[in-house]
A and B are shown apart, each in its own frame.
Chain A
């Protein structure tokens, strides 16, 4: 696009020169009032570095207008006034802590923080305000802690300032899951530190003792060193090692020995024998082995836990946080109530920048909402009266009213969270197998230990204990048990962060086997945007001029149809545009009155009957343009391919998966669309049952089918396919039974999913092969007495660490790089997000 780009939000500027800011004497283009306020605030505070440092690869800042009213009365003052509700003590009780010195600390989440520069901007911008003691913004979780002096400044003033910078603060109240996770993290870290520091001490004493064994040592000193080792090792074994003993006890109770049993046995036996030998004053001590074992295993456990918590945090901490207050309209009067008090059929007012507190249907005017929390898609979506809105979506520009029909746990948002939690609890078959194998393996190891111990007892009773200990430690199936779940956990979390939810355990394995992928067309390969397919002119006007007029008028509209004209650069003056809902637009372009919209509406202006249009025109979506004299042009619109569709198809071909279309639509339009995307096989005019038949036929031919559909009308075929992927609309989640839900609007996510599934399976395979090979080599070595217990501890722990680290590699799985080029010749509809 050769249009000027807004300095602040980087959206194209529709009316150059209307808004600008001055930097170093140079005028910089700004797209709208809201961005101007944000940019001016940034300049005034001397924070221009923000524009230099912000991360260009991320989506940069959200369009500033999301925080501000669209109309021209929006200004910094009204922005500040909006937050006064947060000064109410009743509300502050939920997220504000009063410190001992009289200052207060608020816990907030920031909507719109995308990178380190954003957090830097907020920190620098707010810390300079008089009365603000401290502020810290985490750029990853967007969690923000602000400490302020209530006598000098009100919280609402601080929040208003943040909003002026272009971010939306939300109160952050920790929920139970988060609290438990944070608690677990802290405890694990404490255990790790005790084990680590202690282990190092014990190891130095052990070195002294070993040296003493060779060079001779004063018996008093030797005794002293052993006692000190006992002293230091005790908290390590009893405190840091406690989870292993607890796990083993639990395993024994359910009679299903897991990896904790040999671990606890080894640690316990080594410790007990060492304590006994220390007290009686002779014999070996193994404090060094026991503590090293505890420490290294704790590291592996800690890493595994960090991976698990990433999954927890993936739904974007914001998603779990709905607003605390809502504005209920009672007889047209707005009244603030707690969200908990909302009931079905309440009429609720949602101001721009605020979050919908419940699910419901929109009433009144069209609004734009940002459903990024649910779909991962940052482009706002236009909704008109009667459309569903979901809790967690953010209202963009003009106040919306909606009728509540689902609250609390019944909302889509709550259901998504519930599904995620449920999916995590279920154990996929591949993990179940691994656990079963590990359990049998443990039983085998325990038996082997008894046999080896007995044999060595006969050969050399002195060494028997040491060898059994080494055997137990070295063959601990930790790596085996960790290999699969670690990889799956990481992969699930990575995919979820990219807008692809795995709902059925085992879906990742299945994705890896897919040979053919069947797409539904409407709603799957296409999206709600439209593009211009053909222009037809009547009378003297040429096509170029007609398009100019149409684009000029539509540039002031937020209707989805306007997107079809957004690629055309506007050079004409536009004036007095008024929208007639359901009909079109009327207004002056270059001083002449025009109408654009439905045939009847446009014909109404010139009071002329419509020109004879051919038959096909009646079915296609068309928009007419006319002035006071005649109808001048007709624009034929077509469904636009979903963003990334062509790239996805190309990438599928490259990875050897055959894409095909199965649609209920007419043959001609399906074929045209398939050609446009480069799909060779397409089946048109299919009923849902025919689609299922098609899938069955392919399956009989030995193919593994993935079906991508929009969930509801495709449900039979989704159920019939080997793996089903539903396009998540956010509203029908509870209904569809798909294995995976694609929350992202961009189809390339699918390619990501396939790529990550492939990597995951190969990581699992690597891990299992490693774990098995390791044990095959280590067992005989330990049984023949070639390994000292400390070597065993080192080897086994290194093996577990290796497996976990290998799984964590998936975290950095590269996003499939597809340039959003116009290679398919599609117009790139963006203007629905553009401020007018």
Chain B
């Protein structure tokens, strides 16, 4: 899952970005409203963590602009103010959730996971595809009764495919949403990782869950 963090206070931006990355998200950081907005327009992010008080362009304006441009990224607002009016305004402008500073990082993580989950139309934390189970909060994957050990990158790829289960996912979509690949110089890195995933998930089973759509991309599970 790929996130954009727009926060101007460097210590907070650095630590939050690190924490989110360690939790398996791909994170881009922008330190002012204008930079944040142009990043958000350039990339299809799954979620945007947006501070309200930003240099150049405040958070409300960023949010307004995003929604006007039909950007559907889930937005979590960070605010240092306790005013109800700020939160109401943020939610009314199209934010999905808010968090008041200072916050517990765990809560931020849980809220980010929640808005991402809702964005993909899911209310459970566990995604099930046939007998494959992906617990997104514990980051545990099971096939049948067996726990499947995955690397962070493999997990991120599987989670994205699972979120889009039944839909064909193109390579460029994977490129955009699974952040780690974007930093990889090799062009066939996605195919390599699909290969790893197949080995761990499908090899020992009769029913193959990951299928290739030639010329299009990949699909996890039955096509809708």
A and B interact: no
- Residue positions of A touching B, CB distance < 8 A: none
